[in-house]
């Protein structure tokens, strides 16, 4: 997993900046009920999306939370007084505090099903009855746009996706969260070029191909042989799912 303390400084620039943030916020707000008044943005990172959520609607009070100190500092500069450091598996909020909880690009980073279950349980706990949780799912699949880069990387070893949609839905159901909608949004500015894909490989973005592994070097060689090394391929498309908390409390499994 990447060191997000080190990533914080270049995070926005390396991931599509404001255009991607605008697309993400638009997708999230499409699924957040218009009458929501308190929203928690988990894994808010630098706050680049969180700030847009807070500015989008009058009367919507947004709180950002992230586990990484460097990310929290950057987010707090964008939303003074509205960001705190917190572990999504153990949130420092009372039951039923929020009308909506969002977790964009979080679940795929978690180490396995137990961690995902813990986060889902906390999202359900801090939601009021009828509140909505909005989360990205199937992030890795969103990057597969049918490009020549994808063809090269198709044979790479894979680890099970922590954010696989059906598994997330099952975890949600176990905690009283029922499907309430879905949408997609483009990862603007995130279309990979072969040269960028090699750089991502060297930095450990493909977790089953750690830097320095001979297999990683073999994939890097194949990527280096592709044409148009600096031409970005199409942007990825990311999927958002919404789940509504039932009127009865979630089960404590």
The answer on pLDDT for 68 being more than 80 is yes
Residues 6+ apart with CB under 8 A from 115: 89, 162
- Which residue is it, tokens 């420092």? 92
The answer on pLDDT for 166 being more than 70 is yes
The predicted model gives 72-81 an average pLDDT of 95
Order across the sheet with 177-186: list the strands.
83-85, 61-66, 38-42, 98-103, 127-137, 237-245, 177-186
Distance CA 216, CA 232 (A): 21
The answer on pLDDT for 9 being more than 80 is no
Query: What residue ranges do the domains of the chain occupy?
Result: 4-143+160-191+234-245
Distance CA 81, CA 47 (A): 12
Residue 249 pLDDT: 47
Interval 126-161: pLDDT, tens = 999 999 999 999 998 999 999 999 999 999 888 888
Helix (H, G, I), strand (E, B) or coil at 207: coil
Euclidean distance between the first and the last CA atom of the chain, given in angstroms as a whole number: 28
Distance CA 196, CA 229 (A): 8
Interval 187-221: pLDDT, tens = 999 999 999 999 988 887 787 788 888 899 999 99
Residue 192 pLDDT: 93
Q: Residue 32: how many CB atoms within 10 A of its CB? A: 22
Closest of 76, 15, 90, 10 to residue 44, by C-alpha: 76
What angle, 0 to 180 degrees and rounded to 10, lies between the N-to-C axes of helices 165-174 and 113-126?
50
Interval 10-32: pLDDT, tens = 665 666 678 899 999 999 999 99
The answer on pLDDT for 1 being more than 80 is no
Residue 3 pLDDT: 65
Judge whether 193 and 229 are in contact, CB under 8 Å. yes
- Which residue is it, tokens 């072969």? 194
The predicted model gives 54-66 an average pLDDT of 96
Question: Which superfamily does 4-143+160-191+234-245 belong to?
Answer: Vaccinia Virus protein VP39 (3.40.50.150)
Residue 121 pLDDT: 98
Q: What percentage of the chain reaches a pLDDT higher than 70? A: 91
């Amino acid at each position: 997993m990447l060191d997000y303390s080190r990533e914080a400084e270049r995070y926005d620039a390396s991931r599509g900046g404001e255009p991607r943030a605008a697309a993400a916020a638009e997708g999230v707000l499409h699924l957040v009920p218009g009458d929501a008044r308190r929203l928690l943005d988990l894994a808010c990172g630098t706050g680049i999306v969180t700030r847009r959520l807070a500015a989008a609607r009058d009367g919507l009070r947004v709180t950002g939370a992230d586990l990484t100190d460097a990310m929290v500092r950057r987010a707090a500069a964008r939303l003074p007084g509205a960001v705190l450091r917190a572990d999504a598996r153990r949130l420092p909020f009372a039951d039923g505090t929020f009308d909506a909880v969002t977790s964009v690009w979080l679940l795929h980073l978690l180490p396995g099903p137990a961690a995902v279950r813990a986060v889902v349980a906390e999202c359900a706990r801090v939601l009021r009855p009828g509140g909505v949780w909005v989360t990205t799912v199937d992030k890795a699949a969103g990057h597969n746009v049918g490009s020549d880069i994808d063809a090269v990387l198709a044979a790479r070893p894979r680890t099970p996706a922590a954010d696989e949609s059906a598994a997330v839905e099952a975890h949600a159901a176990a905690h009283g969260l029922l499907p309430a909608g879905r949408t997609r949004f483009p990862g603007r500015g995130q279309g990979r070029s072969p040269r960028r894909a090699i750089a991502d490989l060297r930095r450990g973005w493909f977790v089953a191909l750690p830097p320095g592994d001979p297999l990683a070097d073999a994939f890097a060689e194949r990527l280096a042989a592709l044409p148009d090394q600096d031409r970005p391929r199409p942007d990825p498309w990311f999927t958002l799912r919404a789940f509504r908390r039932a009127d009865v409390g979630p089960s404590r499994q």
